[in-house]
Amino acid sequence: MAGRILGVRVVAVLAVFQRLSVVVASEAEDSYELLHEDSWCLEAPLLDFGNGGVNPTVLSDAECQAVCTNDPSCGVYMFGYQPTAACFRCATYPKCTEGGWYSDGDVNVYTRIRAVPDTPAWIGNCFVLLAEPMEVAPFPDDAVARMRRYFLDNLNINGTGRMTASPGAVPALRGCCAGGYNWDWVRDGALSLSTLLDLEGWAVSTVGAEAPVTHAVVKQILEAYTNWVSELQRMGGNQTAPDGTLSIAFGEPKWSIADGTPYPGTWCRPQTDGPPLRALTLMKFAGSGLITEAMEKHLWTLITFDLDWLANGTGVAMESCDLWEESRDANHFWNRVVMRAALEQGSRTASQMGDNERALRYQRAWQEFIGDPIQDHMEATADGNFITECPLSDSKEQSADCIKYEKTIDGAVILALVHSGVLGVVKDGAGVAVSDVVATTVLVYNEAFCNLYPVNEQDTSAGVPGVLYGRYLKDEYGGGNPWQLISAALANLMYL
């Protein structure tokens, strides 16, 4: 089944990418290649022809092509119709290495870009395939073991069950925050421990000479984490956030590793993805075969602490900070997806525990309060619908922050599709990774980040496979750059 799903998914993605691949334009008399449709170049200004323009005789693609053919310096020409000005457009360039897409959705309006073969050209979506499958793994065993050691070094600090996001200096913070990233984030801890549970039993968990992820290691770290969650819930359940509206057990994002107290400074609060992620990790631990019956009952108490809060609908509807702790909205795709995943899994786990009342309550909660998160997070393009982090751009529910940061294209969507267990999140909707909407999402994001970062264009021009993703298009943190964790999540999405 896994092989079949992977095959279908990759085919679906490739089918969408192919729409923007370079193809030979059969109608072109001089073997020009069609590079892009509904697009523009930044190499030179457009020249408007027709209706009183500079050259009213250039009114067709063929005539524009002739202009390029007769110009020894021309390697690329662009032709299209501009409806607002009621004129045709024809422009010629030596090359086209930077550009973008129009969003009108009509490939017959605006421009088509054609080029003489082998002309330096703007790649578009940076989707370059390996010439052939790799014969050996990209990392040797000792490198895998070293990465595994770094990972384990950040978990269960001093036996507390807490983890550190980063023990060293973080220059991008520019001195803004005491302690840097050496704090326990609820989100990071839950995701890290979930990954640790996934590693146990895989070949990659023991290759190399150091830091093996064994049954005993996983059990020790997860038991310490369980104790920390119990402490956090017990302490946080009796304290409210600075604004007095929410127990810090549900909305506080980060905690002191040394003494387990909440971060005292100003931060983006609340962050409501912590409880569902925490519950998902503990449910995975409960089903791992690593625990006793008594531990299973204890875990269920901790799990229901978080899921009961979600099921009452308050947390779902609450305005929350996003994954990047910068913008606020009551309907971030990341938050909604992990909440639904937790309630769905919670309903199944409750049935297994014989807690039929909660099984029904959790099921009704995600159906009533969340539904299909994709349906109100889809934007339309000429290539189909893609998934956004914030609600639809024309939605009255969209917050000022979503508009300010332009969260239409956001790497949090890729992370949501991976970390929520996407194949079980939206079984009755369009949210599985074999669907057109996921394939189109990757296409649109590829195009956006391909043209945002020079390193992507340079690698693609050199034939280097892969696309580096960033957080979102207007990201200014550390100057705005690709992020390894999002790029890795994109690769992970291909192999769910």
Q: What is the pLDDT of residue 153?
A: 94
**How confident is the model over 39-57, as a mean pLDDT?**
55
Nearest to 414 by CA among 334, 480, 315, 336: 334
Q: CA 24: distance to chain centroid?
A: 33
Which of 57-61, 218-222, 263-267, 321-325: highest mean pLDDT? 218-222
The count of other CB atoms within 10 Å of the CB of residue 462 is 8
More confident residue, 95 or 436: 436
Q: How sure is the predictor about 37, in pLDDT bands with cuts at 50, 70 and 90?
A: low
**Mean pLDDT confidence for 16-24:** 24
Strand partners, 87: 82
- Mean pLDDT (the chain, rounded): 79
* Range name among 29-43, 189-203, 369-383, 393-407 with the lowest pLDDT average: 29-43
Average pLDDT, integer, range 342-364: 96
46: number of Cβ within 10 Å = 15
Element (H, E) at 83: none
Q: Answer whether residue 393 shows pLDDT above 70.
A: no
The model's pLDDT over 128-153, given as tens digits with 9 standing for 90+, comes to: 777 788 888 888 999 999 999 999 99
Q: What is the mean pLDDT of residues 207-217?
A: 93
Element of type H or E holding 82: strand 76-82
CB contact at 8 A, 123 and 457:
yes
| Higher-confidence position of 456 and 41 | 456
pLDDT score of 231: 94
Task: State both tokens at 228.
Answer: 């920390």
Q: Say which residues have a Cβ less than 8 Å from residue 478's Cβ, sequence separation at least 6.
A: 171, 172
Regarding predicted confidence, which is higher, 437 or 194?
194
Classified as helix, coil or strand, 22 is coil
Read off the pLDDT band of 398 (50, 70, 90).
Answer: confident
Phi, psi of 16 (to 5 degrees): -75, -45
Q: Could you tell me the maximum CA-CA distance found in the chain, to the nearest angstrom?
A: 85
How does residue 434 score in pLDDT terms, banded at 50, 70 and 90? low
pLDDT tens for each residue of 226-258: 999 999 999 876 666 555 556 788 999 999 999
**DSSP at 171:** G
Confidence at residue 335, expressed as pLDDT on a 0 to 100 scale: 94
274 vs 323, 338, 370, CA distance in Å? 10, 9, 17
Distance of CA 408 to the CA centre of its chain: 12
- Per-residue pLDDT at 107 exceeds 50: no
Please tell me the predicted confidence (pLDDT) of residue 183: 92
Tokens of 251: 């909305």
pLDDT in tens, 421-432: 643 434 444 344
- The pLDDT tens digits of the residues spanning 57-67 come to 667 878 888 88
SS3 89: strand
User: Is residue 401 pLDDT above 90, yes or no?
Assistant: no
**In Å, what is the CA distance from 461 to each residue of 25, 77, 129?**
22, 20, 13
**Residue 239 and residue 223: Cα distance in Å, rounded?**
25
β-strand pairing of 87-93 with 76-82? antiparallel
pLDDT tens digit sequence for 354-373: 999 999 999 999 999 999 89
User: Residues 147-199: pLDDT tens digits?
Assistant: 999 999 999 999 999 999 888 777 666 666 767 788 999 999 999 999 999 99
State the pLDDT confidence band at 41, using cuts at 50, 70 and 90: low
pLDDT higher than threshold 60 for residue 112: no
Residues 231, 260 contacting (CB under 8 angstroms): yes
Minimum mean pLDDT among 49-58, 68-77, 387-396: which range? 49-58
Question: Would the pLDDT of 285 be above 80?
Answer: yes
Token reading at 288? 């791992």
| pLDDT given for residue 303 in this prediction | 97
Looking at per-residue pLDDT, the higher value among 395 and 442 belongs to 442
CB–CB of 319/253 below 8 Å?
A: no
pTM: 0.75
Number of H helices, E strands in the chain: 16, 14
Nearest by Cα to 88 from 97, 77, 75, 74: 77
Of the candidate ranges 39-48, 77-86, 397-406, the one whose mean pLDDT is the lowest: 39-48
In terms of pLDDT, which residue wins out, 60 or 338? 338
For 310, the 3-state DSSP assignment is helix
Residue 3 has a pLDDT of 27
Task: Give dist(CA 17, CA 409) in Å, integer.
Answer: 17
Q: Nearest-CA neighbor of 450 among 465, 437, 468?
A: 468
Place of tokens 């119990």: 230
Three-class secondary structure of residue 227 per DSSP: helix
Q: How far apart are CA 250 and CA 328, in angstroms?
A: 16
| Secondary structure (DSSP) of 415-457 | HHHHHTTGGGT-TTTT-STTSHHHHHHHHHHHHHHHHH-HHHH
Q: What pLDDT band is residue 476 in, cutting at 50, 70 and 90? A: confident
